[in-house]
């Protein structure tokens, strides 16, 4: 089933994101435990990140998406980055996805790997979307940044670049994480004014430990509302308290987003079913 068609059903779409487990953590086999737990949440779809930074196309995302589809009967969304790949790598992944009957791709640029020789086949995500659309019939999703992509000088320019991705064929967007819903509402308003009319899911990351907040904020530059920083300083040294406060904060964000008519909620699960289940149990009747 095509992900973009989920949004015409008049309810808030609820999706989850996982990543392929590292080999040092038991490898792909450990994903069953994660998915056993997450499938209880009955998400509309599950996306799986793509981590290949080298020149060999990595099939773990394809394998995990196939497990999501075949064993759990849930729609998979396969992330795919392009900046560190040449066209033949992308062709290999696309035909592997096709062979497994996977219909949905989250098309991304990815981050350049400073340790690798730059590849010049793709520079931006819109080129990947163009490339896929030329010869394949995948349903394409893409990503957006409520507080602007860190490499872009203005939100206006970033939204214009986003519009290119939609014009090239992205039919659904997932946002970068944010902790201040007002940033998301302002962004959606600007995107709509710019003529971007595809569904925009809000990316929510429950912060459940102190190191996660430091890492996430330095990576994506999300602004921190005073309520959130107070919470961190009050509970930051108590692991159970910070976990419960982080879950409560995410639930609060989600309730507000659903109340305000968001198209969908995309939960960054960090492969943690316990957290996803607690959040889901709190908002299930709101979907
Ligand atoms: P683009 O849309 O290409 O944008 C990148 C930058 O280029 C932006 O600043 C944009 O404004 C600018 N730009 C775009 N077009 C032009 C143009 N024509 N001229 C000038 N500037 C332009 N990374 C992974 O490696 N694997 C994953 O699985 C993954 N999943 C993600 C999931 C989500 C929901 C999000 C939000 C991010 C994810 N990322 C992932 C991270 C992402 O790859 C990085 O944020 C990357 O830096 C940008 O990717 P993009 O697809 O947004 O790029």
pLDDT at 213: 76
Q: Is residue 75 within 8 Å of 3, Cβ to Cβ?
A: yes
- Is 81 exposed, middle or buried, given 0-12, 13-18 or 19+ CB atoms closer than 10 A? buried
C-alpha 110 to ligand 1 mean position (Å): 6
76 bridge partner residues = 46
Q: Which amino acid residue places its CA nearest to atom 29 of ligand 1?
A: 49
**Atom of ligand 1 lying closest to residue 61 CA:** 28
Catalytic residue list contains 127? no
201 bridge partner residues = 174, 264
C-alpha 143 to ligand 1 mean position (Å): 7
pTM greater than 0.95: yes
Q: What is the pLDDT of residues 128-140, one digit of tens each?
A: 999 999 999 999 9
Q: Ligand 1: which of 161, 165, 218, 221 to mutate, most ligand atoms within 8 Å of CB?
A: 161
Residue with structure tokens 């640029």?
109
Q: Residues with Cβ within 6 A of ligand 1?
A: 49-51, 79, 81, 108-111, 124-126, 143, 149, 151-152, 158, 161, 165, 174, 176, 203
The rounded distance, in Å, linking the Cα atoms of 259 and 231 is: 23
**Atom of ligand 1 lying closest to residue 151 CA:** 9
Paired tokens of 286: 């709101």
- pLDDT below 50 — which residues of the chain? 54-55
Q: Mind giving me the DSSP string for 202-257?
A: EEE----SHHHHHHHHHHH-----HHHHHHHHHHTT-HHHHHHHHHHHHHHHHHHH
CB-hemisphere CA count at 13 Å for 76? 28
pLDDT at 25: 72
pLDDT at 57: 59
C-alpha 234 to ligand 1 mean position (Å): 34
C-alpha 125 to ligand 1 mean position (Å): 6
C-alpha 17 to ligand 1 mean position (Å): 17
Q: Ligand 1: which of 60, 149, 168 to mutate, most ligand atoms within 8 Å of CB?
A: 149
- Is 135 exposed, middle or buried, given 0-12, 13-18 or 19+ CB atoms closer than 10 A? exposed
Mind listing the domains of the chain with CATH numbers? 3-286 (3.20.20.220)
Least Cα distance to 91 among 139, 134, 141 occurs for: 134
113: left (phi over 0), alpha (psi -120 to 50) or beta: beta
Least Cα distance to 198 among 15, 16, 3 occurs for: 3
Of the residues 17, 127, 147, 201, only one is catalytic, namely: 17
Least Cα distance to 142 among 4, 1, 287, 263 occurs for: 4
Neighbours of 259 (CB within 10 A): 10
C-alpha torsion sign, points 60, 97, 40, 217: positive
**Atom of ligand 1 lying closest to residue 79 CA:** 28
């Amino acid at each position: 089933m095509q992900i973009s068609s989920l949004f015409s059903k008049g309810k808030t779409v609820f999706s989850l994101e996982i990543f392929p487990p590292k080999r040092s953590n038991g490898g792909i086999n450990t994903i069953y435990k994660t998915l056993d737990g997450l499938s209880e949440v009955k998400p509309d779809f599950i996306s799986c990140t793509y981590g290949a930074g080298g020149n060999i196309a990595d099939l773990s995302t394809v394998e995990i998406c196939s497990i999501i589809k075949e064993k759990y009967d849930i729609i998979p969304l396969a992330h795919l980055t392009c900046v560190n790949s040449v066209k033949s790598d992308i062709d290999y992944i696309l035909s592997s996805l096709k062979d497994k009957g996977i219909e949905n791709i989250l098309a991304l640029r990815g981050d350049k790997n400073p340790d690798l020789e730059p590849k010049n086949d793709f520079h931006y995500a819109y080129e990947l979307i163009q490339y896929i659309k030329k010869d394949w019939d995948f349903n394409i999703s893409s990503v957006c940044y409520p507080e602007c992509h860190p490499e872009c000088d203005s939100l206006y320019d970033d939204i214009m670049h986003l519009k290119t991705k939609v014009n090239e064929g992205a039919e659904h967007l997932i946002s970068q994480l944010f902790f201040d819903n007002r940033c998301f509402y302002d962004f959606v308003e600007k995107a709509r004014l710019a003529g971007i009319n595809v569904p925009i899911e809000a990316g929510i990351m429950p912060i459940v430990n102190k190191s996660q907040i430091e890492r996430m904020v330095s990576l994506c530059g999300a602004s921190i509302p005073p309520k959130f920083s107070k919470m961190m300083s009050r509970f930051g040294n108590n692991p159970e308290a910070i976990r419960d406060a982080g879950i409560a904060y995410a639930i609060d964000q989600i309730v507000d987003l659903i109340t305000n008519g968001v198209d969908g909620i995309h939960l960054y699960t960090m492969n943690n079913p316990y957290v996803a289940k607690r959040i889901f149990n709190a908002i299930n009747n709101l979907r």
